[in-house]
């Protein structure tokens, strides 16, 4: 696994908490790859310490050097005012502009990377993804078949390269630029011929109640807690998603996680 890394990004204490469960889930999957946590200045040493204890390599990164106009267009209030989230709720600690720091992974010293958002869990070994080309991502499926034409940037394969990073920067922050779903919209535009991963490599939690026939524990490799996060105390979907929240809590703790074969399906 030399030259390969799973990478996530944390920009505040909340996402550091999410990354703790992710890092542990990766370790329990038996991967031989490095586990890298890119972190910005918004995360304290105390918040990062549990990630180091679980075997993560920390890499400090800066937010992208974008223009004032770009920053204003992608400010939380402005962006959500133009393109509101109507299907779920983004927590107060979600800062859309921070998402673009994800692109810093193309500056890392690895040949092959699998990126995972800090609100994901790896339930089965995913090392085979390092053999997939750039750029692979799963469709943004959580409501219906119409979702398959859009990708979700919570899990994707990449090949770090300075030339690619420079090309991204040249295209990202141009006059009038507006990426309605931040890095997700940008990456789909930058990689228009993206390769589709099976949805089981990025199973969005809303599938649990919107498309229960698609939910198969025996297939799911990565579970993604899009919209509300399982560690929120004011979780508006907590009752609907209680089994998935309990699963996250098990990985976030120190005890053994449940066997997937023992978990009930959404129709139970």
Nearest Cα neighbor of 187 from 162, 150, 223 is: 150
Q: Which residue has the tokens 């025996």?
A: 218
Spatial neighbors of 21 by CB under 8 A, at least 6 apart, are: 121, 248, 251, 252
Other residues' Cβ atoms within 10 Å of the Cβ of residue 77: 9
Sign of the C-alpha dihedral computed for residues 184, 188, 194 and 196 taken in this order: positive
Q: Is residue 267 part of a domain?
A: no
pLDDT for the residue numbered 183: 96
pTM of the full structure: 0.94
- The count of domains in the chain is 1
H helices present in 141-234, as ranges: 162-172, 183-190, 207-210
Q: Is residue 28 part of a domain?
A: yes
pLDDT for the residue numbered 122: 98
**How far apart are the two ends of the chain, measured CA to CA in Å?**
39
pLDDT for the residue numbered 84: 76
d(CA 246, CA 226): 16
Q: Which residue has the tokens 């996530």?
A: 8
Q: Is residue 202 part of a domain?
A: yes
Q: Is residue 268 part of a domain?
A: no
Domain range for 118:
4-262
Nearest Cα neighbor of 102 from 196, 28, 15, 29 is: 15
pLDDT for the residue numbered 146: 87
Other residues' Cβ atoms within 10 Å of the Cβ of residue 74: 22
Would you give per-residue pLDDT tens digits along the chain (268 residues)?
Answer: 789 999 999 999 999 999 999 999 999 999 999 999 999 988 999 999 999 999 999 999 999 999 999 989 988 777 777 777 667 777 676 788 899 999 999 999 999 999 999 999 999 999 999 999 999 999 999 998 888 999 999 999 999 999 999 999 999 999 988 999 899 999 999 999 999 999 999 999 999 999 999 999 999 999 999 999 999 988 999 999 999 999 999 999 999 999 998 999 997 5
Q: Is residue 65 part of a domain?
A: yes
Q: Is residue 195 part of a domain?
A: yes
**Which CATH number do you get for residue 171?**
3.90.550.10
Q: Is residue 148 part of a domain?
A: yes
Q: Is residue 153 part of a domain?
A: yes
């Amino acid at each position: 696994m030399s030259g390969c890394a799973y990478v996530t990004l944390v920009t505040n204490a909340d996402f550091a908490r999410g990354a703790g469960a992710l890092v542990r889930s990766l370790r329990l999957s038996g991967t031989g790859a490095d586990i890298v946590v890119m972190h910005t200045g918004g995360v304290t040493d105390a918040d990062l310490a549990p990630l180091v204890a679980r075997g993560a390599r920390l890499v400090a990164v800066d937010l992208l050097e974008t223009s004032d106009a770009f920053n204003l267009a992608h400010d939380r209030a402005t962006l959500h005012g133009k393109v509101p989230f109507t299907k779920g709720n983004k927590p107060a600690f979600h800062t859309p502009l921070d998402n673009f720091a994800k692109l810093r992974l193309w500056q890392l010293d690895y040949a092959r990377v699998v990126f995972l958002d800090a609100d994901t869990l790896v339930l089965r070994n995913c090392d085979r993804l390092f053999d997939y080309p750039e750029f692979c991502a799963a469709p943004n499926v959580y409501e219906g078949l119409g979702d398959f034409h859009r990708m979700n940037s919570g899990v994707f394969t990449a090949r770090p390269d300075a030339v690619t990073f420079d090309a991204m920067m040249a295209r990202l922050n141009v006059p009038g630029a507006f990426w309605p779903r931040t890095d997700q919209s940008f990456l789909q535009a930058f990689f228009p011929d993206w390769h589709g991963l099976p949805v089981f490599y990025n199973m969005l939690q809303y599938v649990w109640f919107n498309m229960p026939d698609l939910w198969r524990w025996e297939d799911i490799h990565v579970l993604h807690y899009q919209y509300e996060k399982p560690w929120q105390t004011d979780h508006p979907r907590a009752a609907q998603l209680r089994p998935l929240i309990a699963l996250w809590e098990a990985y976030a703790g120190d005890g053994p996680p449940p066997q997937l074969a023992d978990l009930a399906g959404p129709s139970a």
